[in-house]
Amino acid sequence: MAGTAPRVCLVGVGLIAGSLGLALRARNWAGEIVGLGRHAEPLEQAVALGAIDRFALDPAEALADVDIIVLGVPLGATRSVLEALAPHRPPRAIITDVGSAKGCVVADAQAVLGNACSRFVPGHPIAGTEHSGVQAAFATLFEGRRVILTPEPSTAPDALEAVSALWQTAGAEVVTMSVAHHDQVLAITSHLPHMLAFGLVDSLARNPRHDEILRYAAGGFRDFTRIASSDPVMWRDICLGNRSALLAALAAYRDDLEQLSALIEAADGEGLEGVFRAAKQTRDSYLSWFEDRQAQEVTHDGQS
Amino acid sequence: MAGTAPRVCLVGVGLIAGSLGLALRARNWAGEIVGLGRHAEPLEQAVALGAIDRFALDPAEALADVDIIVLGVPLGATRSVLEALAPHRPPRAIITDVGSAKGCVVADAQAVLGNACSRFVPGHPIAGTEHSGVQAAFATLFEGRRVILTPEPSTAPDALEAVSALWQTAGAEVVTMSVAHHDQVLAITSHLPHMLAFGLVDSLARNPRHDEILRYAAGGFRDFTRIASSDPVMWRDICLGNRSALLAALAAYRDDLEQLSALIEAADGEGLEGVFRAAKQTRDSYLSWFEDRQAQEVTHDGQS
Per-residue pLDDT tens over the stretch A215-266: 888 767 787 788 888 889 989 999 999 999 999 999 999 999 999 999 999 9
Residues in chain A: 304
The pLDDT profile of chain A, 304 residues, written as one tens digit per residue, is 445 789 999 999 999 999 999 999 999 888 999 999 999 999 999 999 999 999 999 999 999 999 999 999 999 999 999 999 999 999 999 999 999 999 999 999 999 999 999 999 999 999 877 788 999 999 999 998 999 999 999 999 999 999 999 999 999 999 999 999 999 999 999 999 999 999 998 888 888 888 888 888 876 778 778 888 888 998 999 999 999 999 999 999 999 999 999 999 999 999 999 999 999 998 888 777 767 766 665 444 333 3
User: Residue B2's pLDDT is what?
Assistant: 45
Chains A–B, number of C-beta pairs less than 8 Å apart = 283
Residue of A nearest to B279 (CA): A202
* pLDDT > 60? residue B106: yes
Radius of gyration of chain B (CA): 21
**Residue contact A202–B253, C-beta within 8 A:** no
Rounded to an integer, the average pLDDT of B112-133 is 92
**pLDDT tens, B217-230?**
876 778 778 888 88
Q: Which residue has the higher pLDDT, B74 or B224?
A: B74
Residue of B nearest to A230 (CA): B280
Strand partners of residue A298: none
Look up residue A189 and give its DSSP letter: I
Q: Which residue has the higher pLDDT, A295 or B6?
A: B6
Sheet order of strands, A33-36 included: A54-56, A33-36, A8-11, A68-71, A94-97, A120-121
Q: Check if the beta carbon of residue A108 is closer than 8 Å to that of residue A80.
A: no
Q: Are strands A123-125 and A146-149 parallel, antiparallel or unpaired?
A: antiparallel
User: Residue B34's pLDDT is what?
Assistant: 98
Q: Which residue in B213, B73, B210, B198 sits closest to A277, CA to CA?
A: B198
- Cα–Cα distance list, B71 to A45, A216, A221, B81, B85 (Å): 57, 22, 25, 8, 10
User: Residue B181's pLDDT is what?
Assistant: 96
Q: Is A197 on the interface with B (CB under 8 A)?
A: yes
Q: Are strands B173-176 and B146-149 parallel, antiparallel or unpaired?
A: parallel
User: Residue A1's pLDDT is what?
Assistant: 45
Predicted TM-score (pTM) of the model is 0.84
Domains of chain B: 8-177 (3.40.50.720), 182-267 (1.10.3660.10)
Q: Which residue in A83, A128, A136 sits closest to A238, CA to CA?
A: A128
Residue of B nearest to A127 (CA): B218
**pLDDT tens, B10-59?**
999 999 999 999 999 999 888 999 999 999 999 999 999 999 999 999 99
**pLDDT tens, B54-72?**
999 999 999 999 999 999 9
* pLDDT > 70? residue B294: no
Q: Is B303 on the interface with A (CB under 8 A)?
A: no
Chain B residues close to A253, C-beta within 8 Å: 199-200, 203, 257
Which of A182, A186, A189 has the highest number of chain B CBs within 10 A, making it the mutation to test binding with B?
A189
Phi, psi of B31 (to 5 degrees): -75, 170
Nearest CB among B129, B225, B257 relative to A254 is that of B257
Query: How close does chain B come to A203, measured CA to CA in Å?
Result: 7
Query: How close does chain A come to B254, measured CA to CA in Å?
Result: 7
Beta strands per DSSP E along chain B: 8-11, 33-36, 54-56, 68-71, 94-97, 120-121, 123-125, 146-149, 173-176
Q: Which residue in A138, A119, A120, A118 sits closest to A128, CA to CA?
A: A138
Chain B residues close to A217, C-beta within 8 Å: 126, 189-190, 286, 290
d(CA B244, CA A57): 59
Q: Which residue in A192, A253, A231 sits closest to B276, CA to CA?
A: A231
- Cα–Cα distance list, A294 to A119, A168, B108, B233, B257 (Å): 33, 16, 47, 31, 33
Q: Is B180 on the interface with A (CB under 8 A)?
A: no
d(CA B214, CA A200): 23
User: Residue A293's pLDDT is what?
Assistant: 67
ipTM: 0.85
Q: Is B127 on the interface with A (CB under 8 A)?
A: yes
